[in-house]
Structure 1
């Protein structure tokens, strides 16, 4: 290598070396995933154990909207669990923490005006199935007296409880 070649290669190297920290040549580190058993436990206790819901959510805030797949795509969140069993206390707690409410939660609380707007926007929502294949009719039934108007509304549209839980 002669002097000119050396100067050229040294000049190029002096440009490349300072730039190398800007580029990562190693595999990026993945964010840790939530432990499946922990998510399952959170969903299980969300059916009826408020004290345990609070404890788990305090320790692991990312559980709030985590969904457990029971099998065959039967996804259930803590909010879905509390909603389909009619546990309004747990539902209200999870909503207060920022849980992502849905049409089934609205049905439980008999929010008829919002249900109407959603179903008018997307009529197929009338036949939506929540955790375990449970319908809006199931959820308004769990809502009791608070959901009577919503129940009358969805029945007037022809919804019937024709499906069974997935398992």
Structure 2
């Protein structure tokens, strides 16, 4: 029995349907509604280090996992992007374990030279790519501390500089 059949059967046999917040949210998604921008902003903001808030919001709204907030002027950020540029390894790992879409910046944070080298071989200009708020790969690697020391040294040897551009 699929969801629609289940709901139809529930309404038909009981005459009413009890809707929990979770099922109401599921209905919004099914109807094509977008996530509330304020909730996305709160989730991404919490991604800068508020672990319990991230967990609470993700429990209530599972599709927030890869949602990006637009800080304006092309500055898009996910909770994983936030955790990555502030160096919150534990929160970043939690989000990845939940299925968040990691990228080269997160790989730099975690010191994954085995990912960084082939990515830069394939896309050399990524050495100077800007992540959320204009933070560079080198910035992310430095935030990884000792875990990312090899990546920090490698990026520096290629001429990477830790610059931040003003996006707004």
TM range (shorter): 0.7 to 0.9
Match of 1:39 in 2: 40
Show structure 1 runs of 5+ residues with no match.
1-28
Quote how far apart the aligned CAs of 1:45 are. Answer: 0.6
TM-score by length of 1: 0.80
Residue of structure 1 equivalent to 2:95: 94
Distance in structure 2 (CA, Å) of the matches to 1:109 and 1:163: 20
- Rounded to whole Å, the distance in 2 between the matches of 1:62 and 1:123 is 33
- Structure 2 residues not aligned, in runs of 5+: 1-29
Alignment partner of 1:159: what SS? coil
Q: Is the contact between residue 134 and residue 165 of structure 1 (CA under 8 Å) also seen in structure 2?
A: no
| Alpha-carbon separation, structure 1, partners of 2:110 and 2:162 | 19
Is residue 121 from structure 1 mapped to residue 114 from structure 2 by the alignment? no
Distance 1:148 1:89 in 2: 18
**May I ask how many residue pairs the two structures share in their alignment?**
139
Superposed counterparts of 1:56-75, under 5 Å: 56-75=57-76
| Distance of 2:163 and 2:110 partners within structure 1 | 22
Residue 149 (structure 1) aligns with: 150
Q: TM-score, normalised by structure 2?
A: 0.80
What's the C-alpha RMSD, in Å, of the aligned pairs? 1.3
Question: Residues 82 and 91 of structure 1 are in contact (CA less than 8 Å); yes or no, is this contact kept in structure 2?
Answer: yes
Asked whether the 8 Å contact 1:119–1:126 carries over to 2, the reply is: yes
Distance 1:162 1:144 in 2: 18
